[in-house]
Structures are given as C-alpha cells and as structure tokens.
Structure 1
Amino acid sequence: MSFETTENVYFATCPKGLEGLLATELQQLGGTSIRETIAGVYFEATLSIAYRVCLWSRLANKVLLPLGNFQVKSQEDLYEGVRAMPWHEHLSPTGSLLVDFVGTNDAIRNTQFGAVKVKDAIVDLLREFSGGERPSVAKRDPDLRVNARLSKDKAIISIDLSGESLHRRGYRLKQGSAPLKENLAAGILLRAGWPEVAAKGGALLDPMCGSGTLLIEAALMAADIAPGLLRVSFGFERWLNHSKDVWQDVRDEALARKEAGLAGALPEIRGYDADVRVIRAAEENIVSAELDHWLRVSRKELAEFKKPTHTALEFGLVISNPPYGERLGEVESLKILYAHLGERLRNEFQGWQAAVFTGNPELGKQMGLRSDKKYKFFNGTIASELLLFSIDSVAFVQSRVAQDARFGADVEERQKAEEQIAVENREQQAADLSNGARMLVNRLQKNFKQLDKWARKNDIRCYRLYDADMPEYAAAIDIYRGMAERGREEQLYVHVQEYAAPKSVDEDRAAQRFAEIEAAVPFALEVPASRISYKQRRRNKGTSQYEKVSERPQGDLITVVEGSSRLQINLWQYLDTGLFLDHRPVRDLIASKARDQRFLNLFCYTATASVRAAMAGAKFTVSVDMSNTYLNWARRNFALNGLSEARNRLEQADCLRWLEENTQQFDLILLDPPSFSNSKRMEDVLDIQRDHVALIHNAMRALSEGGTLIFSNNLRSFKLDNDALSAYEIKDITAQTIDQDFQRNTKIHQCWLITH
C-alpha cells in the first residue's frame, strides 16, 4: 500500500470536551469524512495531511493510523489478531517498538499483560519473517509505537504517528503545582475567542499566569506558529512508510509561516503572578518557546492587576485559570479571591472580554458577573467549566458571597422595614426605658457625637464607643462601619460585650442591667437589632464559664476598611471579632515601617497586621499561629485584598517552638502573645510574665541588624524585666499606641520598640 498518495482513515485523540473544536481544526487542516466520538475524531487524509495534523494540531493528543480491528474473547484471539497484520511493512526486524495498551475485558484483565501479548505477536511474526532476527522493546524513543485499544470485546490496533503526546510541545521546561496541559490551554483560548480578539489587535492578559502555558499558546496562535515545531521528534520518523520528502515540505511551510508571523506586529500578551518562583518558570518556558522578544511576565499581586499604562489598550481578553481549592479553608478564601478578581474586572476592564477556567464552577458565582457562555471541559479527571464574560455594567450582578445565608435577596428590604418600624416605635421605646437605661442612652449619644467626628476626620471606621464608663453598666461597646457580604453599602454595626460581673453582684440584678443595655443601645444609636451583636459573660452553673456565643451563621461576615486594607470581621460567632481595635495604632505603625521589609507576625490571630504590612509594600510576610480557624480567617483577609500566600506565608505552629527552630531573618517583627495559654497543641504552658524574657531573646535572634521588634501584651499587671533585657535598646511607646477611643482605659495594653 502507498501511504503517501492514498487517503487513509486516521484517529486523533483529545481530552474530553475538545472533540467539536478538534473536528473543526482537522477540517481546516485538510481532513475529510470527519466523525466525532468520545475523546477523539476520525478523519480521512493523505500522509501529507496526517503529517500536517501532527505538526499543527493544537488540540490532539495522538494521531493514530488504525491497521485493523477484531474480536477478542480470549488471550489467543488477541495474539492471533495482531499476528495476522503485515508488521514487516511498518517495522524492521532489527528495530525497536513500544506498545501502549488501553482497556480491559473478561479475557484481558490487565493492560500490562495485554501490551505483552501484542508485543509477542509482533516480535514472533517479524522473527519468522526475517529468519531469526527480532525487534527489541524500547521504553523511550522506539522506532515504532503501537497503540492497542480494547473496548468490550473489540480491539483496534494502530500505528502511533505522533510518538509522545502532541500536547508536549517541547517548550515547557518547568511548571507550577497544577499546570494546564498545552492542548487544553489551546482549547480554552479557542473557546474564549482569542484568535478573533488577536485579529482585531486586542490584548491578552493573565493575572494568575502560573508557568505561562496560556500565554505561550496564545502567542503561538497569534503568530501563526505550528505548535509542534519545537518537538525533538515524532513517532512516524522511523516508521518504514515514512516519506522524508513529504515531511520536509510540511515542515518547510510551517517554518516560513512562523517567520512571517513573527515579522508582523503581535498583540500585547502579558502575564502576572504573585509567586516569583512560577514567574521564573514562566520566563524559562517563554525563552524555550523562542518568544522572549514578544511575551512579558512579572510578579504582581491580584490587588495590583489593571490595564498596563505603557500602551493604549482599548480592548482585549483577560483569561485566567485561578486555583480552585480542595480543602474547606482553601475554598472559603478562594471565594473571596474570585470575588476580588470579579471586582478587578469590573473596575478596570469594562468593554473587555474575560474567560475564567475553573475546576470548581461554584467559585465562579462569586465574581459578581453574569457569564455569557459556559463550556464544560475535563482537566484530567476533573470536570471543569470555562466561563465567558462580557465586562459591561449590564452583566454586573451581586456575587454569591454577597447573598445572605438565611434571608436571600430580600435582606435589604427586610432591614429597611426594621428601621422603619424602629422609627415608628421610637416614642414608645423612649417611654419604656428605665431611668438607668436613659442615663446610658445619654452617655452613648454624647460619646458618639464626640468620637464619630474624630473617627471620620481620621478615616477610622471601627472604634470603641463605650468602655464601662458607668460602672453599673459594665460593657465594652464598639462601632464597626462596614459592608455585610449580603449588602451593597457600608452600614453601622454595634458589638456589645458585657464584662463578667463580680461575685458580689446579684445575678438577677446583673441580668436586669444587661437588659437595660439591650434597650439603650439600639435607641441611642438608632441601629436595628439585626446589626447589633450582644455577648454576655456570666457566671454559669456546671463546667461552662460563659454562655455560648451566638449561633448566627458564618455567612453574616462584615468587611471593614482600615488604612488601605479590607478586613473581615465576625461579630456573631466568637467572643472576639477578628480585629483588636486597641491595636489600630500598632498596625498603623507597622504599615508605616513595612515597605521593602521582611515582616514576621507571631501569635498572628487573623493576621490583620500582616495584611496591613503587605498592603504597605512589605517584601514578604510570615504569620504564625496555632489555630487553623484563625489561619483560615487570615487566608480570607489576604484574599480580600488580592494578596496571595506566595509572599504572605501562613504557618500553623506553636510560636515558642517555631522561634526556637527558626533560622530566617526579619526586619520587622510583631510579638503580641496572649497573657496566658495552655493550649493542648503547645508543649508548654505560656505565662507571659514568666516567659517574656526567653520569648524576646528568641525573637531578637530572628531580628536583623537595624530591625525593629514591636512587643505588646494585654496583661494589666505586666512588668517588663529591663535588667534581663539590658542588651537591647528598649523604648516604651504605650502612650503613642493608645488612641482617643481608648483614653478611658489606658491599661488596655502595653507596647515597646526593641532593637539591637
């Protein structure tokens, strides 16, 4: 048979979901009689077209030349069926072969056994044909690669013309943790309409580019470069029916098209990633693809993602394959990451197109954009979706993150109704107030008038309003101006935390006073009950020290702004909200010192100080805490600001042990330990008065020359051991870290700067 001039049936395999695109591509490359099936497409072509498909297909994994098929109901059926084929026309008896076997049935239950049977049949036939010579088995770079597929009782035996899978272009020297295969990346670009965008001069930007696969595939398309040109070899090159002349013509044409494509003006293609390691990998891959004169990548957090300013980019395609997460903590923070990506698109790229490929389609619902189209793909075995968006105000929707867990889309109407009822009932409420409650109302209104003016002048959204100013009403009352995940505008929230009453106070009287606080707060501040959190510390019978805090769901989280950072607080589920208000001046100090500094945050809690440092330009941050709950909360805080963990590392560890084992140096350290801790995860009990000297010594070992340690704690009776720490310069800055809202309680914390 003359393969060079005759049209034969070929089979091109591909990832599931790309069959339709591959069929179109094969038709464009000259194939005929095209027929789609699962994970592949049959087509008829001459040898020249088959070579062209091997060189030019952006979507296929393999190009197979079927030699025949037969029934397999026993091991002998497989052996005899393969042996009946004319292998002397395809492989020299002195050559080498490799068999890929896929599938099983009742007779062939093991693919390795099936591969051996096929190999034995070919070797035995060629040994008889040659009078004794037999081909060898080569696991790498064989002269002939044979593909055997067994489905139910039918075997299809083919010559593998491609050799290694065609998705291995040859340019990817390094890769990130979850790389896209090159042909899947090409399919995503085609579905996203990149060729049409590029033809109109549009740009392509990838804010989370990883090792650069989408960028490189986009450039190969835009420059009309055959993806197989960088491959070292193909499976057909030592096949006995290979035509070197035909192959050379196909290759020469591709080289000429590449030269012409690169001579023209290529569209702007840029990639960014927060992880400098994958950016380095992307740079190496781009150089390997010979595209380093046209593609640019740089380290950039998602928070900084916007249209490049060096050139006027009027329209284009933003494309990305963000992480999709496997653990619960990851997924929760990734919801915020996707919401932040949607925010960047809405704020910076109106009039553009966007394509987001995700293995967790639910995350795409967080973006606040209505998708135009969705395409299903498989990333390996992971069912995935490609979401396409036209970034226009008509497509803007409230993200799933922004929907209330219990009340749905009607929550704002519900709140307005509550507020209206509160206004209508105000006169009755005033009449119902006790004398003590009226006194508390007057104090709260007086404080609010003074402090709110100060807070607004200093752009402070969260502050302490009242701190047991009237001893009989012993509570801390805090104001939080923020936006609920279900809301669309900033609102005022109140956090009320009762101090534990002394044993001398009758429990009934303590309960009555707390009821008066509950009556006074909404009246004084004109805030509906749904935006007030009460936490009551009370002596209880049994083993519980305090009554259980609110069961209000995690969905009722509030986002507040401090400096240039957005931080997530939870007013309902824990005694503390996730943001220590008294440390606001300390966080401001950290932000003022953080630029280009290596920042360490010990006992980091929800890492609000680390977020402030990162947003202020820290070189990197490391945050250490034992609580996985708090570290997942920290992840959400970083994601909320478009900050990745690539340069903001979170460590779950006992800070005492971590410091002892640490060998890294830092320029700025925050050491803010609890007064006492006997957590089960700690090897020792922490008593800050007893242990602070050793703790500071270990922290100072991690502090660079010229660096600063900020040491703080909240133990009222704490005394710093200056004699034991005489080797260091120590400056008490407590007074400077007590803001106006804490002037009534200046013993809320103590703070020092410590240097070498």
Structure 2
Amino acid sequence: MIADPVREWVATCPRALPPILAKELAALGATDIREEQAAVAFAGSRAVMYRACLWSRIATRVLLPIGGGSAVDADALYETLLAMPWPALIAEGSSFAVNFHGTNADIRNTRFGAYRSKDAIVDAFRAAGVAPPQVNPDSPDLQIVVRLQRDRVDVALDMVGESLHRRGYRRSAGDAPLKENLAAALLLRADWPSLAAEGGGLIDPMCGSATLLLEGAQMAADQAPALGREQFGFLAWQEHDAQQWGVIHNEARGRAERGLSAGLPEIRGYDADPAVIRSAQENIAAAGMAKWVRVSVKALGEVRKPTHVALPKGLVITNPPYGERIGRKDSLPQLYRHLGELLHREFPGWQAAILAGDREHGRSLGLRSHRQFQLFNGRLPVTLLLIDLEGNRLADGNPALATPVDVAAATDHKDLSPGAEMFANRVRKNLRKLGPWLKRSRNECYRLYDADIPEYAVAVDRYGDWLHVAEYKAPAEVSEEGAAQRLREIHQALPLASGVAAERIVFKQRERQRGKAQYQSSGGASDMLSVSEGDARLLVNLHDYLDTGLFLDHRPLRLRIAQEAKGLRFLNLYCYTGTATVHAALAGARETVSVDLSNSYLRWLSQNLAHNGLAEIHNHLERADVMQWLRGGEDLFDLILLDPPSFSNSRKVPGSFDVQRDHAGLIHMAMKRLTPAGDLYFSNNRRKFRLDEELAQSFVVEEITRATLDPDFARLPVPHQCWKLRHKAL
C-alpha cells in the first residue's frame, strides 16, 4: 500500500455554499478547514480525498495543488510548468488535458495559455527520458488545472474529472433545472437527513425533473452521490492506491445497500406538465429509485398531503419558477400566495423550504420564515426560506387593502339628510330582499344597488368586505352641483345602510366609454383583492380601473360553464381577465384556450390562474385579435364562450368592431371551431342588441338570458343578453 501522508487539498463549490461544504468535509475527516469565496481548502490524507470525491454532495471538484510560480509572460509560464515533476504525478498510459483560467498583459487568450502549458508538460516528460502521455482535450483521464492571476500561476491536479454535481441519473431536465449540488444544499439547510431519520415525508409540489426528490432519497438511503461513477481523475494519478480506494468504495456500497433494504420514507413529487413528469420518471428510474420516489401529474391547486400513510411531520421543499426563464413574473405573487395557503392548510406541523427568486415573492407566501439564506442558482441570486409550519399564522392575502377599521365607529348613528335617508332605506330594502338568496348561494360578490332611485345614479357592488361604487353620468337635467350633493349623501348613507366601514368603500366616476378608455388605469393603489365565487378565487382591482376585473352579472354563466366543462376543451374568446377560464379549469376541463388582444388582461388571467394553483401548461393564453385568430386555425372545442365588447377600435388591428354589425360573421367563424355536439354561449351587454335572424337558420339557437341572471340583476333593463348555440343535427 502506498504511504498516505497528509496533504493540502481544495474543494470547489458554487458561491454561498462553502459553509455547508466545510461542515461536510469535517464530517469526512478533513482538518485545517478554511472557507474561501467559492471553495474550501483543507488538510487530509489520500483516504479523506477519496471520501470527499465519493461522498460530497456539495463540491464540484477536489483539487491537489502541486505548486506555482511566475507567469509574467508565456516563456515564464512555460518554465514554471516545465520545472514541475510531471512524470511523478501522471500515471503511465494516461491521457491529460489542460484546463486554463485567466489572462494577463502578455497571455491574452486562455487557449494560448493552455497550449503553452501543454507543451511544458510534454517537454518535462521528454527531459526525464519518459514517453509523454497522450493529450486528449475532449475526454482526458486527468485534467491539469492552471489558474493565472496577474503575473502568477498556480497549478493543481483535478481528482474528480467530470463535475461532481453530475450524479449520472439526469436523463432529461425541465426548462430551468436545479443543479444537484445546490439541491443537496437546500436539503441540508432544511435538515432533511434528521427528518428522514425520524420517518418524515418529503414532498415537492413543483418537482420539475425530480432533482430535489432524488437528492433527498439518496440522503435518506445513506447513498454516496458518486457511488455509480466509474471515472475519477485520481485513477490517473501516480499515487493512486487502488486497494485503499476499493475498501472505501465497498464500504459505501454496503451502506447504500443497507439503507435501501431498510426502506425509505414517503417521497413524492407533483408537476402540472405531463412531459416534465415523464422526464422526472426517467431520472428516477436511472437513479434506481423508482420503488421509493413517486411523481404524478398535478397542478399546485390539486396537491394534498398523502393520507395513505401516517406522516405527522416532514419537509415540503420546492423551487418555484422565478419568471426569468420559466413562469410569468406578473403571476408569481399569486403563485406564491397559493403555495403559502397550501402549506398552511395541508401541512401543519411540517417544515418547509422554499427557494424564492425574489424576496417580494417570498413575502407573498404569507408565512413567517425563521431563517433565510442568500444563495445563487447559476448567476441568479435567490433566497432560501426555511419555514416552521407549526403554529405559523397565515397573513392576510391582501395586506395593502386589509386596513384595520373601526366598524362600530363607522356605523355610529348620524343625522342623515332626507335624500341620504331615502338612499339608505333603498339599500336596506335591497339587502333584505337579497338575504335569502345570499344565504343559499353564499355569494360574497353581488350587485347591491343599481340606480334604483334615478336621482342617485350609482351602481353599488359588494366584493367581500368592500364596496365598489361606480357613479353613472348624471342626467342632463341634473346640475353638476346637484350631482355632487347626491354623491356626498351616498358617501354619508352607505356605511350606515350596508354595515361596511367608510374606509372600505371605493368611489369611482363612471361615464360612457368608447374604444380603449374603459381599459385604462385611473391611477390608484394597484392592489388586488381576492374574492370567492363558487370554487374559484378571483382577483379584483377596486381602485385602478373603471371595471374591477369581474363582471358580476355573468356569474350564473360562469357557474354554468363550470358545471359543463369537466373533460372538455374550453375556448374563451374576448376572455377579459379569464374568470370563466378559471372556473372551467377548476371544474376539470381537459384544456382551456383564452384569447384576448390586451396584454393587461392576459397578465390578469395569468395571475388568476396562479392564484388558484392552475398551471398554464393546460391553460393556454393567446394574445391576438379574436377574428384573426379564428381565421388562422382549425382546432375544435367542446365548449366556447363568446362575449365580445359592444364596440372596439384598436390600433393593433385594422378597422373597428361593432357587435350589432359584425356579430353574425363572428358567430359563424366561432361555430366552425365547435365540435358537432358542442355548445357555444354568446353574450353581449349592448342594450338594444338584436340577434341576426339568419343564425337560427344555420344553427340551433336558444335564448337563455333570464337563466343567466341572478336575483341581484333581476331588474330592467337587463345588463346582458345571452344565447346558447349548437350545430343542427345532420
């Protein structure tokens, strides 16, 4: 056996991970440990180096420094390397390559630096009368690492070869794969080995290619991450001891066999994309973990804690999208919020580790983290949030809107003017009339008042604990001063009549709009309020736009779509903020496609999807003019919602759209996209609209307006008209 003296080694790793690597190396027997920016220097025997190469989950390379010297120019570089004892370092019959880093004033190209270094090594062999080894830049047995900094060069042997983060199990990856050693670092920071030893479960609700799950499984099985690797750089090192290495390797193999035979805890992963899950399954099979690591297709909103085994504790760990290469940045706060609610609801008493791409996104979770670590995923700065879910209170989902108010003070008796008292009495009457329906339907968003008294020309809508008041343009016979006085009376009466504090009542003037004016921001708080409708949670904005993002009169139609959408392909044309899409997706639609020309509304839809844990892989967003989009495709859908504006005139498309003038042609195009047994719902809110009689000759047409109005809109004139169309039987 070759003598095994203590040497100086350097283990490299990603930035911010040296503290974890140092702890790992100490457990493997290293001494004199010194952390550097992206590496850890340590002392140890050859056996310690073997164990580091085999067992380190964090290191990328393990280097043996062999010296350095002057490199003021190419000749000095050559002489420094020529003087090194290369025949005593590189085993006979081995190939090598030079991995050169750095430049200076004379050596301006790393390829040139590598070329001169290679010449020096080959000439050193010839000077010693020994046949030089073969140079193999593509697949060398041993890499020589040469680092040039200013006028000095340092040289080391790479004991590893291919980076240690490549475990060998990754056959395919998703769009933004997490490197294996970073995944291991997250698990170690979250103390997964201790939880695994206690029988805790491991869940990744957005598992991607299953890297976190596989790293966790290897830890739980006490399996060395490099156990399956056949090639190491030290095999071509002159002082390699095959017998010593064999003992260390066999010991690791025995530990892994014992670990797997003892069984692993529950390890499960989910992802909304079937293609990603197939990739994960390939990786799991390649790692030999198919018996213990299970993954399945589930959107975030469908994830639940496993119930087939008792799991009082465990770790939920995940790497959500950052919005850089995957994911939509606008929808990430809602995605994180939904994740926080999932953790709070399904995993009380567990631990969670979330790799957040942005601190603001981390705050969107609504959960308090007890520790945070700044890391790097490649070049992207990220934050690891460690969260103890035991007793962790979920913060309000709308912190900017949920300002504490004194409801009692807001509802104290005040002397009302006769006009204000009349308005208040009408609001109270409407509440009494709607009460039984509200109790049955459990609607928290509804129309409370709609210019019932013509002089008080406002629409009052309730959104959860808030009221939204839209002022109509006053009649011509009402002076501006008179309209302002009535608005002041509404301000005075509403808190008393509704029980909603004045601080939660949003007033907006609403005049008739044409073109895009109705979609422009009126300025304001840019806050989203989450409200419930059926099984959906929808985001509304009470401040920034004249419309809130949720047309309340269409509630019955959305719920009807939810009842019919299971297993169907759903097409939402002029989708607005996509509330019907959310209902269809939650109800089990096989696929949804939503088309709108507005980027703002598609972003809003993306946020609504994320807010409900729905993945865009099954819910496609198409930014296009609807009529052009219909002309450009042939895909068929089982269920279509067609709810065009009354009028639109956009610079993005030629001409204008008028629903009365153009609806027949639009419906014909949409019906071409409907399956033979499918249903198309056509709706619009133009008051004097008349459906083209020709349509009844081509299709089965049924007016369902009254069936799509709830009691809060059961007044004249109706806010919209709606028809159901089907193909005639052949």
TM-score, normalised by the number of residues in structure 2: 0.93
**In the TM superposition, what is the alpha-carbon distance from 1:501 to its structure 2 partner?**
3.8
Preserved CA contact (<8 Å) 1:465 1:741 = yes
- Correspondences of 1:22-171 after superposition (within 5 Å): 22-91=21-90, 96-127=95-126, 129=128, 137-171=135-169
- Deviations 1:584-631 (Å, cap 9, x if unpaired)? 011011100111222221111111111111121222222222212112
The AA in structure 2 aligned to 1:537 is: R
**In the TM superposition, what is the alpha-carbon distance from 1:55 to its structure 2 partner?**
1.8
Match of 2:388 among 375, 383, 390: 390
**In the TM superposition, what is the alpha-carbon distance from 1:107 to its structure 2 partner?**
3.9
Identity of aligned residues (%): 50
**The 10-residue stretch of structure 1 (706-715 or 320-329) with the greater mean CA deviation from structure 2:** 320-329
Aligned to 2:576: 605
Whole-Å separation in 1 of the counterparts to 2:317 and 2:512: 57
- Deviations 1:138-184 (Å, cap 9, x if unpaired)? 33211321111223443211111211110001101111122111011
Aligned to 2:289: 291
**In the TM superposition, what is the alpha-carbon distance from 1:445 to its structure 2 partner?**
1.9
Paired residue secondary structure (1:726): helix
Aligned to 1:468: 451
Aligned to 1:404: 400
Whole-Å separation in 2 of the counterparts to 1:544 and 1:337: 29
**In the TM superposition, what is the alpha-carbon distance from 1:554 to its structure 2 partner?**
1.3
Preserved CA contact (<8 Å) 2:398 2:530 = no
Paired residue secondary structure (1:567): strand
Match of 1:247 among 245, 248, 269: 245
1:348 matches 2:346: yes
Aligned to 1:380: 378
Whole-Å separation in 2 of the counterparts to 1:455 and 1:519: 25
Whole-Å separation in 2 of the counterparts to 1:460 and 1:47: 71
Aligned to 1:740: 711
Paired residue secondary structure (2:414): helix
- Deviations 1:39-71 (Å, cap 9, x if unpaired)? 112223333432232122111100111111223
Whole-Å separation in 1 of the counterparts to 2:221 and 2:65: 33
**In the TM superposition, what is the alpha-carbon distance from 1:127 to its structure 2 partner?**
5.0
Match of 1:314 among 287, 299, 312: 312
**The 10-residue stretch of structure 1 (229-238 or 740-749) with the greater mean CA deviation from structure 2:** 229-238
Paired residue secondary structure (2:50): helix
- Deviations 1:268-296 (Å, cap 9, x if unpaired)? 11111222222111111101101001110
Aligned to 1:201: 199
The AA in structure 2 aligned to 1:578 is: G
Aligned to 1:621: 592
Match of 2:687 among 687, 712, 716: 716
Aligned to 2:213: 215
The AA in structure 2 aligned to 1:687 is: D
**The 10-residue stretch of structure 1 (13-22 or 690-699) with the greater mean CA deviation from structure 2:** 690-699
The AA in structure 1 aligned to 2:456 is: Y
The AA in structure 2 aligned to 1:284 is: E
Residues 92 and 319 (structure 1 numbering): CA distance in 2 closer, same or farther, change over 3 Å?
A: closer
**In the TM superposition, what is the alpha-carbon distance from 1:546 to its structure 2 partner?**
9.2
TM-align CA RMSD: 2.8
Whole-Å separation in 2 of the counterparts to 1:722 and 1:137: 83
Match of 1:687 among 653, 658, 663: 658
Whole-Å separation in 2 of the counterparts to 1:354 and 1:329: 21
Preserved CA contact (<8 Å) 1:271 1:296 = yes
**The 10-residue stretch of structure 1 (633-642 or 107-116) with the greater mean CA deviation from structure 2:** 107-116
- Correspondences of 1:567-646 after superposition (within 5 Å): 567-646=538-617
- Deviations 1:372-410 (Å, cap 9, x if unpaired)? 2222222222222222122122x32636x64337xxx9x
The AA in structure 2 aligned to 1:22 is: L
Whole-Å separation in 1 of the counterparts to 2:721 and 2:2: 86
Whole-Å separation in 2 of the counterparts to 1:526 and 1:24: 60
Preserved CA contact (<8 Å) 2:462 2:468 = yes
Paired residue secondary structure (1:745): coil
Preserved CA contact (<8 Å) 1:738 1:746 = no
Aligned to 1:9: 8
Preserved CA contact (<8 Å) 1:170 1:232 = no
The AA in structure 1 aligned to 2:186 is: I
- Deviations 1:322-359 (Å, cap 9, x if unpaired)? 22334999444222222222222222222211111223
Whole-Å separation in 2 of the counterparts to 1:329 and 1:14: 28
The AA in structure 2 aligned to 1:17 is: A
Preserved CA contact (<8 Å) 2:209 2:276 = yes
1:448 matches 2:431: yes
1:522 matches 2:522: no
Unaligned 5+ residue runs, structure 1?
483-490
Paired residue secondary structure (1:448): helix
Preserved CA contact (<8 Å) 2:221 2:260 = yes
**In the TM superposition, what is the alpha-carbon distance from 1:209 to its structure 2 partner?**
1.1
Preserved CA contact (<8 Å) 1:72 1:107 = no
Residues 92 and 262 (structure 1 numbering): CA distance in 2 closer, same or farther, change over 3 Å?
A: closer
**In the TM superposition, what is the alpha-carbon distance from 1:265 to its structure 2 partner?**
2.0
Aligned to 2:177: 179
Whole-Å separation in 2 of the counterparts to 1:329 and 1:33: 44
Residues 545 and 646 (structure 1 numbering): CA distance in 2 closer, same or farther, change over 3 Å?
A: closer
Match of 1:554 among 526, 531, 547: 526
Whole-Å separation in 2 of the counterparts to 1:579 and 1:621: 19
Preserved CA contact (<8 Å) 1:711 1:754 = yes
Aligned to 1:359: 357
Whole-Å separation in 2 of the counterparts to 1:545 and 1:207: 41
The AA in structure 1 aligned to 2:455 is: E
Residues 682 and 126 (structure 1 numbering): CA distance in 2 closer, same or farther, change over 3 Å?
A: farther
1:754 matches 2:693: no
1:278 matches 2:276: yes
The AA in structure 2 aligned to 1:552 is: G
Preserved CA contact (<8 Å) 1:4 1:47 = no
Paired residue secondary structure (1:443): helix
Preserved CA contact (<8 Å) 2:424 2:493 = yes
**The 10-residue stretch of structure 1 (620-629 or 90-99) with the greater mean CA deviation from structure 2:** 90-99
Residues 701 and 326 (structure 1 numbering): CA distance in 2 closer, same or farther, change over 3 Å?
A: same
**In the TM superposition, what is the alpha-carbon distance from 1:136 to its structure 2 partner?**
5.2
Residues 545 and 218 (structure 1 numbering): CA distance in 2 closer, same or farther, change over 3 Å?
A: closer
**In the TM superposition, what is the alpha-carbon distance from 1:499 to its structure 2 partner?**
2.5
- Deviations 1:647-685 (Å, cap 9, x if unpaired)? 222222222222222343322221111111111222442
Paired residue secondary structure (1:100): strand
- Correspondences of 1:490-505 after superposition (within 5 Å): 491=465, 493-503=466-476
Match of 2:188 among 187, 190, 207: 190
**The 10-residue stretch of structure 1 (191-200 or 318-327) with the greater mean CA deviation from structure 2:** 318-327
Aligned to 1:438: 421
Unaligned 5+ residue runs, structure 2?
none
Paired residue secondary structure (1:33): strand
Preserved CA contact (<8 Å) 1:340 1:639 = yes
Aligned to 1:486: none
Whole-Å separation in 2 of the counterparts to 1:182 and 1:698: 50
Whole-Å separation in 2 of the counterparts to 1:68 and 1:329: 47
Preserved CA contact (<8 Å) 1:467 1:745 = no
Paired residue secondary structure (2:543): coil
**The 10-residue stretch of structure 1 (506-515 or 354-363) with the greater mean CA deviation from structure 2:** 506-515
1:537 matches 2:510: yes
- Correspondences of 1:227-266 after superposition (within 5 Å): 227-266=225-264
